[in-house]
Chain A
Amino acid sequence: MKPWRDPGLWLSLLVTAAIGLWPAVAANKPYAREMMFTVLMSVGLASSLNIMQGYTGYVNFGHIIFFGLGGYVGFYLLSVYHAPLYVAALAGALTAALVAFLLGKAILRLRGAYFALATIGINEAARSFVKNFDPFGGPTGMTLKFHVYQAYGGANQALWITYIALVVLTLLIILVSYLVKTSKFGLGLMAIRENEDAAEVMGIVAPDAKTWAYVLSAVFPGIIGVLFFFKNGNIEPGDAFRLQQSIEVIVMVMLGGQGLVFGPLVGAAVYQRLRGYLLVSPLFKNIQLAVAGLLLLIIILFVPAGLIGWLRGRFPRLRRWLV
């Protein structure tokens, strides 16, 4: 089927666009923008992780290192060289791609739990490295001088520009996720997920396919990191390489349904809204991560296919829409 005739693709893009446009119609626009920035960021992170975890079947606890490294490199260019945002974003993407390529060559020969363990180690290693790397400000990180925002017409306008860039990027990620899933490359990845040895016997060059999937899934968090820390105005190792954030992204992917385009999108949006609610609730605000853990447990035990996967199984007619 041609992509533009697939209602499933349109539904995913429309939902993303609706999230993105919400601040334009909401009453308190800056507040809505901040809220939706978090949601879109999660959608982007979850959908890009899904290429690795959902399509290829490699659980990755280190997705956030690409967010952190891309963010750091972009931030460095922004603060030290006063590079334009798009140059910083491009540098973040390239850094993440390069790191993923080299890492992939090293750790993608590991399978299952061994790969997952290696990715946890890498997250810690990246944090330690940046903490002790003086050009990046060491443990205190870096802060943007306020005049950097002047080039974008002031801080307020800079925040809107960053937000719009994130909306466009998220739409692009959804499109890429869809194109990968419906391509020959994607079929190869899913064959690897189902049975890597059998896939190789069929002629799928698994080492290459896995490496490119890893690179592709790393590029987007690299850009998102640049946008996020530009908006934030400062960056430090603890914020850039937070293992719990990697875990939260995994929860989002599984909550919505891994291996689907629409699944991580819904999972990320639902999770972030839930988290927003928990954070302001007096009862849950200190244990919101415990809730995430419990949620993951419940999904794995009772709805391993995730929300969208469950709907697809329960109502086969919806399959056309929920790709």
Chain B
Amino acid sequence: MAEPIVKYNKVTKYFDDLQVLDEIDFEIQPGEKVALIGPSGSGKTTFARLLMMLEEITDGTIEVEGEYLWHEKDDKGNLKPASSEHQRKVRSNIGMVFQHFHLFPHMTVLQNIIEAPVTVQGRDKKEATKAGKDMLDKVGLLDKADAYPAQLSGGQKQRVAIARALVMQPKVLIFDEPTSALDPELVGEVLEVIKSIADEGEASMLLITHEMDFAKEVADRIAFFDGGKIVEDGPPSDILYNPQSERLKDFLERFMNTQ
């Protein structure tokens, strides 16, 4: 098996006295699409946010392409907290799409997309604009290039946010409940875009979702979180149709009932 692109080693997270993640080991292979499911408060969002460095890790390590994300080795080979340069270097492999889009409201759609390539990656503005437009075309919003986010529907906003993340060419793309904030009739267009990225993409995906059908369709693997642990982890057919643990059975049953 190839080297995993992401590797969690005994990752633990506390918010003050509250333990959210409990010594989690986890790997993502290059190009692998992994869906995270589980009840709210089970730790799946925190798990993903640690990879994006939006929360501080309490204990354990995360490696991305064999390099520590939160740590660096000192002269003696001991782990120490990483410098901000090191963090940014390793973090550049990761991208994220948020539940609430978080587009930059003061910029047009195209500016939203090319801002980070130009400012952060130092890419040529012409090249970035071309790449940005290609990406907008891919999510079907080329005609909205000069619109402001406030003029878009929720589904369109999320598609722009996806284009914005993709143009950075991340090796791992995190989707944090990308359709949970959308009106039901807008969910489909976003899922379609995510699916097309998954189908063509070399990028690995970490997809936090409550859309079980979608998870089954897109993911190579599903991990079920409960109480800060990964309770079950396997191919979608096993997880959804042949759950082993009581907790997953309960979760799926409750889930089916609310559908």
Q: Do A and B bind each other?
A: no
